[in-house]
Amino acid sequence: MSTRAATLASRPVALHTPAMVRVLMIEDDLRLAAMVATYLRGAGFAVEQAPDGTTGLAALAARDGPGVDLVLLDLMLPDADGLDLCRRIRAGSDVPIVMVTARGDTADRIVGLELGADDYLPKPFEPRELLARIRAVLRRRGAGGGPAAGGADVLRFGRLEIDRGAREVRLDGRSRPLTSHQFELLVALAESAGRVLTREQLMERVRGEALDAFDRSIDVHVGRIRAAIEDDARHPRRIVTVRGAGYVFAKSQDGE
């Protein structure tokens, strides 16, 4: 994370997240925690920081009124093992948990997910990927994932609208039917508009629901999405293939 940390606070972030989403970050690297908190606050989150497991558990227990909507949990804490802390949190709460840690080996990831974590992101990571994963977890768990007042959770690209709260895609104001998995795939692409995503990254973000182990299944789903949202699916302008790399969702569309 060290090579990317200095850029976290300065990168622009689209403000699509309702301001009342509350995140508790349990992280002992205070410099990293401060920069991640700044980044997430810029995206519309309310963030509380805890430097160790004891403080984190106390913060969860002390919340009056509105509680915590999501926990960002580091596994390597000075006073507790993060996996044990995840177990203790899950024993008393169903709050979504995203593990963020340098311990990124497969065994830890499997154990963390089996203990009840909703997602697991190893360091180093791209801050935009962390943001996308948080939003995906909140959508799946229904915590702060709906649209804000006035429809602020709608992504607009020219004539195309992606309403993440209503889980609806509209082109020229008309609804375009997609399966749940195709919708999640489209959202993952749109949230990273202008950035090439590999098939592996897309499968990770969609969490593999209804996608088999062969990454070429992504191509099939992309083809069906194109049939729904492109003016000419044979010559796509919204979802563009980058040979040997993956796909990129165009930032500018319809000559805008």
What is the C-alpha separation between 32 and 5, in angstroms, rounded? 7
| pLDDT at site 19 | 44
Task: Give 138-165 pLDDT, tens digit per residue.
Answer: 876 654 443 333 344 788 898 999 988 7
Q: CB under 8 Å to 122, separation ≥6 — which residues?
A: 101, 102, 103, 104, 109
Task: Give 188-233 pLDDT, tens digit per residue.
Answer: 999 999 999 998 888 877 764 444 444 567 888 899 999 999 999 9
pLDDT tier, 187 (very low <50, low <70, confident <90, very high otherwise): very high
pLDDT tier, 248 (very low <50, low <70, confident <90, very high otherwise): very high
The mean per-residue pLDDT over the stretch 240-245 comes to: 92
Q: Is the peptide bond prior to 124 cis by the omega test (within 30 degrees of 0)?
A: yes
Domains of the chain plus CATH, in order, are: 2-141 (3.40.50.2300), 154-249 (1.10.10.10)
What are the percentages of helix, strand and coil residues in the chain, rounded to 5?
A: 35, 20, 45
Q: What is the mean pLDDT of the chain?
A: 80
What is the C-alpha separation between 58 and 244, in angstroms, rounded? 49
Identify each DSSP E strand in 74-198 by its residue range: 97-101, 119-122, 154-157, 160-163, 168-171, 174-175
The mean per-residue pLDDT over the stretch 172-183 comes to: 86
pLDDT at residue 86 greater than cutoff 80:
yes
pLDDT tier, 254 (very low <50, low <70, confident <90, very high otherwise): low
What is the C-alpha separation between 239 and 221, in angstroms, rounded? 12
